[in-house]
Amino acid sequence: MQNLWHQCWMVLAVLVLQSAQAQTVNQTSWQLGLVLDTTASSRQLSMAQRDRGLALGHSDLSLRGPLSEYFHAEIIGAFHTDDQKLGTHWENAWIQTTRLPAGWQLRAGRFASQLGYWNEIHPHADDFVERGLIERAFLGGHWVDDGVRLNWTAPTDLYVRLGLEAFSGRQLTPEATSGHGAYVANLKIGDDWGVEHSWQWGLSRVNNRREAHAPESGAEAGHSDGPLFHGRGLWISDFVWKWAPGGNPQHRQVRLGWERARLDRALPSEGLFQGHAGHNLGLVWRFDRDWETGVRLDRLSVNAPDASSGSVMAVPARWRETAWMLAYKPTDQQTVRLQWSHQTASASAWSLPLKGKPGHSVMVQYVLSFGAHGAHSF
């Protein structure tokens, strides 16, 4: 199956490149973009995805455009450093319909799942240097997988979108020993209140059919290539509210975001299944055209296996994280961000073999983009 997916990506890449080459002469809307995300960090916190010291964050080279009047395509190659080593992977390689009737849209290939609010957004476009604890612990920071997606958008003034996704699940549970497939159902509802206010609420459910040999194989291995804690079912609810005084978000804007996740059927213990949970609340204030500041509060509670007892009995482990940031955006292509993070954890959390340790961390991030980059969601 894995070889089949590699062959599909190669065919897709050839189709995209041939189409782009053939249509460049006609001056069509094919776009090439490059994003470089660099950071300097004083400390690597627990479950952090950026190295201590100088590091290359989520950077990518992208190509997107029309294959015909009925299909659109995108290819993104991503690169970053992990343990001071450069890693590369295909982040996106998909084809999407553009003219299906009645609000339907179909996508196939490799892409990020649209569960929750942040997963579909590229990490270099986040409001903070590091993603929240929910994404880092349950999704590996950014869940990208091979599959198909079917969306339906209602023809109403109120924004309503229903989505179904079917993935291979290899990126969600890399070390699975049985089962196959991960399936996502999600709902998005949103609206505008006048010209200054807008909001969006979402609810997502993941049904993961892949089972790892150990309940927390990602956490035991301590790597950042996938989720650190696994489960059969994941619920994520999210809400975002935006206020732009005068209706111009480029000059002043307040963004409030909330997210809660529940990972169930995670750990078998005496015939019962115990789960993990987390939530975060973030507030960002753009007080000037070029400046914004924000704060985010994260909480995570997991039931990890007690390695010292030699059984699968659960030991509660908890993390608390507070992040404050100040960002300077002189142009649409540049962001300079200063962030201070403080993380605390229970005694049982300290004993888990995870990258980094709780404490304080000061980070400086510089994001520079060239060319075009795809539009982000709400």
Q: How far apart are CA 303 and CA 277, in angstroms?
A: 9
Strand partners, 242: 198, 255
For residue 118, the 8-state DSSP code is: T
Tell me the domains of the chain and their CATH numbers. Answer: 2-371 (2.40.160.10)
pLDDT of 261 higher than 60: yes
Pick the residue with more confidence: 74 or 3?
74
> Mean pLDDT throughout 242-246?
93
pLDDT-derived band at 307 (thresholds 50, 70, 90) equals low
For the beta carbon of residue 316, count every other beta carbon within 10 angstroms.
13
Q: How far apart are CA 303 and CA 24, in angstroms?
A: 54
Q: What pLDDT sits at residue 5? A: 46
pLDDT in tens, 101-143: 999 999 999 999 999 999 999 999 999 999 999 999 999 999 9
Phi, psi of 271 (to 5 degrees): 85, -5
pLDDT-derived band at 220 (thresholds 50, 70, 90) equals very low
pLDDT of 231 higher than 90: no
pLDDT of 19 higher than 60: no
What percentage of the chain has pLDDT greater than the value 90? 59
Q: How far apart are CA 174 and CA 149, in angstroms?
A: 21
Q: What pLDDT sits at residue 224? A: 47
Pick the residue with more confidence: 362 or 211?
362
pLDDT of 11 higher than 90: no
3-state helix, strand, coil in the chain (%, to 5): 10, 55, 35
Handedness of CA 314, 315, 316, 321 (dihedral sign): negative
Mean pLDDT for all residues in the chain: 84
pLDDT of 229 higher than 90: no
> Mean pLDDT throughout 143-150?
96
Q: What pLDDT sits at residue 364? A: 97
Q: How far apart are CA 140 and CA 323, in angstroms?
A: 19
Tell me the whole-structure pTM to 2 decimals. 0.85
Report the amino acid identity of residue 28: T
Q: What pLDDT sits at residue 309? A: 53
